[in-house]
Chains A and B, each alone.
Chain A
Amino acid sequence: MENRWIAYLIPPFIVTLLLVAGSQFVFIQNSFYQDLGLGRTGTDLTLVNYLKFFTDSFYLKTFWITIKVSAIAALLTLFLGFPIAYVVARMKSKLAMFLLAGIVVSTFVTIVIKVFGLIIIFSADGVINKTLLNLGLIERAYSIIGTQEGVVVGLMHFTIGFSVLLLYSVVVTVPPSLEYAAQIHGASRLRVYQRVIIPLCAPGFVVGGLMIFNMCMGAFTSAALLGGGRVLTLPVLVQRTVMMEVKYSTAASIAFVLLVSVILINLFSLIAIRRLRSARLVVA
């Protein structure tokens, strides 16, 4: 019975393989030839593009900044998204559906519009700077453009909707009766969170966190617009390498490093968490 259903997955798998893996293969293959500029490549297979990436401090720092801003954005997004997801999941009124619909709609608003909204809010004459200046909390308007903090805010803005939807689907799988049972046995609300809700949602946090991290690692628009040319992440660097220098092989090698690093970070995270859980079960 199960095998019969699996057969239905074969056509989409083939289409995906052809469209995604096929094109990626051509791109990645290009990364193993020396870049001669203007789209031209050498004829011999070589690792020179990768050697340059891993020996040049500029590329390594860009790589590190990409991981850092993505990780911070993923953690903060989870932290912000979970309370919203929890409240919406536990709502009994029809308002929950409206809120969910609102989140879905806002999630699909193009990122360029969202980022320009952020730029306006955070501009020198924007609401935030004016409020802080009026309250005397800052002496001079602060700009988020061209800062790593700005890129983190942009990435959070990009992923917060997804995170709420992801975490909502996790919270609804936790029966409210478990929370009631804990409270009946004397647990405070905080204790219920610590001992019931968060442990039961933990696998969802991990998977959701990794998905958001993956989105942030590949995000271009937020990083390009809010980085203001001063903060470079790997996707921005790939675009600059293709558009400005027309160095396809170099760009392909950067993209491949990004792809492999995302896969490895995901694998190691899942393995580490599985081992941690096993160790905790043994202790228990």
Chain B
Amino acid sequence: MNKITKTFTSVAIAVGMVSAVATSASAAEFDGVTLKVATWGGSWKANIEKIIVPKFEALGGKIEFVTGSPAANFAKLVAGRGRAPFDVMEVLDAQVGDFAQVDFLQPINLDLIPNKVNLQPFQYNETYVGSWNTQETICYNTEKFAELGLAAPKTYADLAAPALQDKVSLPDINSGAGLANFGGVIYAAGGDEQNIQPGLDLMKKINATKFWTRGGETKTQFESGDIYAAVVHAGWCTRAARAGSPVMTVHPEIKPGVKGLAKEGWLGIMKSSENVDAAHWFINEYLTTDFQYEYAINSGVFPLNQDAIEKMKTDEINAKLMELDSGAISSMLRLDYSKVDKTSWIDGWNKTLTTN
């Protein structure tokens, strides 16, 4: 009887050990983990769903999205006093100053982001890892300019031509591109972060028909003939071109030696996140060549990954409408948002540029 019991016990232990080993072998890296990502909807979310989500699911995890602009997501964070309903978030360069005033982000362990080798050193630090950038341009309708006898614009001041009155769309200061482009106009008009009046005067002179809040609006307006020129990032102009609009981009002359304006996107991990490893994994995947290229093509942003930039050169429309030279991209104007007094910029804008 004892022998039977001993044998049975030994077999049971052996089976238990084998099954335990088997289970741990099949346990995936992110079993049961739900990573919440705050990003835009539309193509932004679709790109992640197409390339990153299947990989994460293969590792046992699940990705959920909190869609909205970075401004909206920041407002959610503030309302929740930092208790974020997401783990990782898209942050705009213009928000870096805001985040510096609150304690919502946790340090990023750069050792867990091996794909940072695809970036330039200034594109990552211990709080943020760069995700994309945009080339803020003047996009104009070549046929309409020819009809009006206008030469291609070189800088923002060219948009103030009488023939273009009510035919120009500029980014609203409330939009994601608002501060960056307003800053570009300020610099081009001879001002700087502290002296915004020259920029306001020039904006008033341009007399935009509309201040857009989403870049996609300009594509529709080019198609409907409502506008002949817009200040918008090159990605939206390439989309308009792909849709058949006769458009071309100009990287505006901002000041001597500086041509063009860049806006940077970053990724940050929320302090309240309990899925820190998964968040690092996500950021690393964001930097792969495949994803960066897919993002650039579908969402019109510019990749940071050097191999993806090389791939961009194979596309005729990209080559025509975007600046693909690394040196030229690096020398574009990037605003120093730590010097921007957002309240006074918005106040000046409201008082000067709204019909109120």
Contacts and interface: CB of A to CB of B under 8 A. Distances in A.
Interface stretch (A9-17, A87-95, A226-234): A226-234
B354 A243 contact: no
A57 B356 CA distance: 9
Interface string A58-90: 100110010000000000000000000000000
Interface in A118-173: 120, 123-126, 141, 143, 145-148
Interface in B321-349: 342-343, 346-347
A55 to B, nearest CB: 14
Interface residues of A, number: 32
A246 B210 contact: no
Contacts of B224: 120, 123-126
B342 A245 contact: yes
A231 B350 CA distance: 10
A259 interface: no
A38 interface: yes
B105 to A, nearest CB: 14
B75 A246 contact: yes
A139 to B, nearest CB: 13
Contacts, number: 92
Interface string B75-86: 100110100000
A128 to B, nearest CB: 12
Contacts of A61: 356
A141 to B, nearest CB: 7
Interface string A24-37: 00000000000001
A39 interface: yes
A105 B173 CA distance: 36
B288 interface: no
Contacts of B172: 229
A123 B217 CA distance: 12
A92 to B, nearest CB: 44
B98 A246 contact: yes
Contact of B174 (A143, A147, A229, A248): A229
Contacts of B174: 229, 240, 243-244
Contacts of B342: 244-245
Given A124-B226, A146-B209, A246-B75, A62 B356 contact: yes
Contacts of A232: 350, 354, 356
A39 to B, nearest CB: 3
B226 A123 contact: yes
A124 B225 contact: yes
Contacts of A57: 351
Contact of B78 (A39, A62, A123): A39
Nearest to B343: A245
A123 B225 contact: yes
A143 B221 CA distance: 11
Contacts of B81: 39
A242 interface: yes
Contact of A145 (B75, B209, B346, B356): B209
Interface in B220-245: 221, 224-226
Contact of B354 (A126, A141, A231): A231
A146 B211 CA distance: 8
Interface string A212-240: 00000000000010001111100000001
Interface of B: 69, 71-72, 74-75, 78-79, 81, 98, 101-102, 166, 172-174, 208-213, 221, 224-226, 342-343, 346-347, 350-351, 353-356
Enumerate the 6 nearest inter-chain pairs by beta-carbon distance, A residue then B residue, closest first. Answer: A229-B211, A39-B78, A228-B210, A123-B224, A124-B225, A229-B172
20 contacts: A37-B101, A39-B79, A58-B347, A58-B356, A123-B225, A123-B226, A126-B224, A143-B209, A143-B210, A146-B208, A228-B210, A229-B172, A229-B174, A229-B210, A230-B208, A230-B210, A232-B356, A245-B346, A246-B98, A248-B79
Interface of A: 37-39, 57-58, 61-62, 65, 120, 123-126, 141, 143, 145-148, 224, 228-232, 240, 242-246, 248
Given A125-B225, A146-B210, 9 more contacts: A141-B226, A143-B209, A145-B226, A146-B209, A228-B211, A229-B211, A230-B211, A243-B69, A243-B75
